[in-house]
Amino acid sequence: MAADELIKHLHFGFVSTRFSGTDGVSLEARKWAEVLARDGFESFWFGGQLDHESEQSMEVPEAFFEHPENQWINGQVFGHRSRTRECTARIQAEKSFLKDKLYEFIEAFNIDIIVAENCLTIPMHIPLGLALTEVLAETCIPAVAHHHDFYWERDRYAINAAADYLQMAFPPKLANLRHAVINTPAQEQLAHRTGIAASVIPNVHDFNIALPEMDGFSSTFRQDIGLSEKDIMILQPTRIVSRKGIEHAIELVRRLKDPKYILVVSHDAGDEGPEYREFLTDYAMSVGVDMRLISRQMRPRRWEDEKNGKFYSLSDAYMNADLVTYPSLYEGFGNAFLEAIYFKKPLLVNRYSIFIRDIEPRGFRTVEMDGYVKRSVVEEVRRVLEDKAYREEIVEHNFALGRKYYSYEVLERRLRSLRDAFFGAGEF
């Protein structure tokens, strides 16, 4: 089969611990698959927790990072300087099991290219990373490692008893493996620490899809979370984890000094525990800020039943928001930033390092803070919320820049470059 004919029939196999819900890895993987489908390629899914059709996926519960065996392994190797012989044996046993499953996946769906979504990046599941590394080394199947956040960027992995495994598989250095990172500093650190060259492929959004309009379903969102027509909804559309800096959003609402401003937080803590949520709840109460935690009413897709009523999507939250806060201390890139731009909402941003390096030079107009909420930030938020013409000018400007720099068309060009690296149609 000629190279150009082969390219038309490529099967991409996405591999990770989870492709389910609204975490950044799952969202970006879906976007890659959507863009690949434009060129006629099919995508298939391997993971421990999936929300994809069974005809195109293989769900292996042992590959999920919250599987009891993997949690036991993580408890043995992180926060410790040495591991037991039993721990090593159980890592190897899990690796062998998952390796067999990966071979089954490749054979069942005739996979031509593997896309490793963060599972060769951050060691949330060491056996899966080892298994995939060995499969790639043995088969020489073309692969792309899509890196979202490396282990050296997370304090919880600083003390570990798995240095040998981290050097081997997080990420591996193989001739048949190309690497993609989501920001420039990650590209630089990967090269500095491992000698591996990587392409920068930022997070994207489909700016060509028409903006959703308020309908009968979304029009009850505010009422269902307890807001009145006069309330101003300030949306924090992130998980409740400390690096999101949500205490700054609370401080902003406090300094606005009006009970009509309500802070709405869309997600829960996820896998990082309840301590930060408890701190935020206590802090908001102590300073008199009305903060609504609405994760129980949110789902990846909207739906309704007679017993429980409506469950809303993140799109419903954005449509109803008056301002979006994004006071993160650190982000790999920032999906919520692009989502706010797409939904044409004004945005408060803490100038985290990736924003300064990769996003800010594009010329977006946001309310910017540098580590704390100062008077000028509060005054600018008031202006944005109260001056409709000024607000519309800002959001239209940002939407145009989002379409130019972070659209599906940008991703399509970058993915073609990676594909061509394997099939000779261009240069990597």
Q: Which pLDDT does position 321 carry in this prediction? A: 97
72-81, 276-285, 296-305, 318-327: least confidently modelled range: 296-305
By C-alpha distance, which of 398, 238, 249, 240 is closest to 333?
238
Query: Within a domain: residue 158?
Result: yes
Q: What is the pLDDT of residues 21-41, one digit of tens each?
A: 778 899 999 999 999 999 899
3-17, 291-305, 310-324: least confidently modelled range: 3-17
Phi-psi region of 273 (alpha: psi -120 to 50; beta: other; left: phi over 0): left
Query: Within a domain: residue 278?
Result: yes
311 lies in the same domain as 256: yes
Domain that holds residue 35: 3-204+408-423
Query: Within a domain: residue 139?
Result: yes
Q: What are phi and psi of 133, to 5 degrees?
A: -60, -45
Query: Within a domain: residue 209?
Result: no
Query: Within a domain: residue 23?
Result: yes
More confident residue, 116 or 155: 116
40 lies in the same domain as 16: yes
Q: What are phi and psi of 322, to 5 degrees?
A: -100, -30
Peptide bond just before 172 cis, omega within 30 deg: no
Q: What are phi and psi of 14, to 5 degrees?
A: -85, 130
Q: Is the pLDDT of residue 2 over 60?
A: no
Q: Mean pLDDT throughout 172-195?
A: 96
Q: Mean pLDDT throughout 231-241?
A: 95
According to DSSP, the residues that pair with 78 across neighbouring strands are 160
Q: Is the pLDDT of residue 424 over 90?
A: no
247 lies in the same domain as 144: no
130 lies in the same domain as 54: yes
Q: What is the pLDDT of residues 74-98, one digit of tens each?
A: 999 999 999 999 999 999 999 999 9
188 lies in the same domain as 55: yes
First to last CA, the chain: 23
163 lies in the same domain as 14: yes
Q: Which pLDDT does position 8 carry in this prediction? A: 62
- Give the range with max mean pLDDT: 243-252, 304-313, 416-425: 243-252
Phi-psi region of 330 (alpha: psi -120 to 50; beta: other; left: phi over 0): beta
Q: What is the pLDDT of residues 102-119, one digit of tens each?
A: 999 999 999 999 999 999
Burial of 152 (0-12, 13-18, 19+ CB in 10 A): middle
Count how many domains the chain has.
2
Q: Which pLDDT does position 1 carry in this prediction? A: 44
Query: Within a domain: residue 119?
Result: yes
Cα separation, 225 vs 310, whole angstroms: 11
Q: Which pLDDT does position 49 carry in this prediction? A: 96
Q: Which pLDDT does position 357 carry in this prediction? A: 94
Structure tokens at 2: 């000629």
Q: Mean pLDDT throughout 328-353?
A: 94
Confidence of residue 283 (pLDDT cuts 50, 70, 90): very high
Q: Mean pLDDT throughout 387-397?
A: 98
143 lies in the same domain as 271: no
241 lies in the same domain as 341: yes
Query: Within a domain: residue 213?
Result: no
Q: Which pLDDT does position 272 carry in this prediction? A: 66
Q: Is the pLDDT of residue 341 over 80?
A: yes
SS3 315: helix
Query: Within a domain: residue 211?
Result: no
Confidence of residue 271 (pLDDT cuts 50, 70, 90): low
- The H or E element containing residue 115 is strand 113-117
Distance of CA 380 to the CA centre of its chain: 29
Query: β-strands 303-305, 309-311: how paired?
Result: antiparallel
Q: Mean pLDDT throughout 234-244?
A: 94
CA distances from 211 to 326, 339, 340, 372, 397 (A): 21, 11, 12, 32, 16
What's the pTM? Answer: 0.88
48 lies in the same domain as 181: yes
Confidence of residue 270 (pLDDT cuts 50, 70, 90): low
User: Which amino acid is it at 109?
Assistant: F
- Rounded to the nearest integer, the mean pLDDT of the chain is 93
Structure tokens at 78: 């992180």
Cα separation, 151 vs 251, whole angstroms: 31
223 lies in the same domain as 188: no
By C-alpha distance, which of 301, 289, 298 is closest to 262?
289
Which residue reads 């099991």 in tokens?
A: 97
By C-alpha distance, which of 301, 233, 296, 239 is closest to 267?
239
Q: Mean pLDDT throughout 405-409?
A: 96
Q: Which pLDDT does position 121 carry in this prediction? A: 98
102 lies in the same domain as 227: no
CATH of the domain at 242: 3.40.50.2000
SS3 349: strand
259 lies in the same domain as 274: yes
